[in-house]
Amino acid sequence: MSKKVAILTSGGDAPGMNACIRAIVLVCERSGFDVLGYLHGYNGLLKQQYRELDARQMHNLTQRGGTILHSARCLEFKTDESARLAAANLDELGVTTLFVIGGDGSFRGAQHLGNFWDGQIIGLPGTIDNDIVGTDATIGYFTAIETAVQSVDKVRDTADAFERVFLVEVMGRHAGFLGLNGALASASDYVILPELFENEEKTLKDILTQLNERRDQRGNVSYIIILAENLWPGGIADLVSKLEQRTETEVRPVILGHVQRGGSPVSQDRLLAMKLGAHAATLIGKPITGIMVGEQNGQAVEVPLPLTWEHSKPLDDLSVNTMTLLMNNRYA
Ligand SMILES: Nc1ncnc2c1ncn2[C@@H]1O[C@H](COP(=O)(O)OP(=O)(O)O)[C@@H](O)[C@H]1O
Ligand SMILES: O=P(O)(O)OC[C@H]1O[C@](O)(COP(=O)(O)O)[C@@H](O)[C@@H]1O
């Protein structure tokens, strides 16, 4: 009997998930394995909702954003009862390997399932947040930076025309990777990130000092602040109003939101997705389970799932130092 493997995508979708599905399916097909795709994350696993996947369906897929398997959050999957049901459903279909493409929450779900299922479980890091330890980057992160940068470039045009202050909110849940690199690559003026945030007063003072210095030296200037979501205590509207009071000028907010999750994946995400997906498929049937396949320094690595979430992934020093030199601590 030929081996049967399954794939699901879970949590926040990320550009490149389709390229990863394709890589897994193509390698499986070469090896003569059957592949099915569960729909809507862990929901599909609980409801036995799936479709069969073969190489023909993978045509023209790499460049598509989103995920053909759909994604979802599934709170009930946290219960033991759900994990037992999922295990029974996998066994009923004869699935022996499950690939979970998602973020740290999805990996917790995979680990939970592993407590009740004897099959092989392999995670692949798919999230725009890049907040997964054990891999240099996650699938979707580069595209999200690109989208943020293109959006800020456009904001800059109108900000320049009016010499206005803009506050742009980016995603990232609790991680500043997207904010930091989006801010740097768009040559923004100031960035507020969860990892570096001290308090409201200090942040407001820093911004005021920098903006006033700029205005003293150059007259009216445009000024763009990048704000990571879920960070400012009173939300973006509160920061806008505090900045308007203190700068005595209009401040306009822009919330980039889910736009950052969409779009055709950039090459870096396609390549990462293909490399990780293809490598993961070569592990089928080997005595290794409960791991994430990641990339570190150009090498594929296999990392035990708990290590991917036990600690927060730190921002890299080079990016932070560059930001300090060119953005937050540059007054002229
Ligand atoms: N502790 C957990 N136990 C079981 N399942 C979990 C756990 N944490 C998350 N999940 C599952 O993973 C899904 C995605 O997690 P979430 O944190 O929303 O997204 P992401 O995987 O992108 O981080 C959840 O909706 C749930 O189905
Ligand atoms: O789509 P939702 O449920 O509103 O979730 C928004 C969150 O999902 C993300 O886009 C991706 O996060 P995850 O990959 O951890 O799901 C976060 O940046 C954002 O905070």
Predicted local distance difference test score (pLDDT) of residue 2? 77
Cβ–Cβ under 8 Å, residues 116 and 87: yes
316 a catalytic residue: no
Tell me, what's the ipTM? 0.98
Range name among 74-83, 129-138, 213-222, 293-302 with the lowest pLDDT average: 213-222
CATH topology of domain 4-140+265-308: Rossmann fold (3.40.50)
User: What b-and-e string marks burial along 161-198, b requiring 16 or more CB atoms within 10 Å of the CB?
Assistant: eeebbbbbbbbbbebbbbbbbbbbebebbbbbbbbbbe
User: By alpha-carbon position, which residue is closest to atom 5 of ligand 1?
Assistant: 109
The 10 Å CB-count burial string (b at 16+, else e) for 18-52 is bbbbbbbbbbbbeeebbbbbbbbbbbbbbeeebee
pLDDT digits (tens, 9 = 90+) for 253-308: 999 999 999 999 999 999 999 999 999 999 999 999 999 999 999 999 999 999 99
How many whole angstroms separate alpha carbon 321 and alpha carbon 168?
22
105 lines ligand 1 (CB under 6 A): yes
Question: What average pLDDT does this structure show over 59-79?
Answer: 97
pLDDT at 332 over 80: no
Give CA–CA dist 54/36, Å, rounded.
8
Which pLDDT does position 331 carry in this prediction?
75
pLDDT band for position 28 (cuts 50, 70, 90)? very high
Cα 206 to Cα 197: distance, rounded to the nearest angstrom: 12
Q: What is the pTM of this model?
A: 0.97
Residue boundaries of the structural domains of the chain: 4-140+265-308, 144-261
pLDDT of residue 156 exceeding 80, the answer is yes
Please tell me if the domain spanning 4-140+265-308 has the same topology as the one spanning 144-261. yes
The finding on whether 173 has its CB within 6 A of some atom of ligand 2 is: yes
Number of alpha carbons in the 13 Å side-chain half-sphere of residue 96: 14
Superfamily of domain 144-261 in CATH is: Phosphofructokinase domain (3.40.50.460)
Q: In the structure, what pLDDT confidence band is assigned to residue 1 with cuts at 50, 70 and 90? A: low
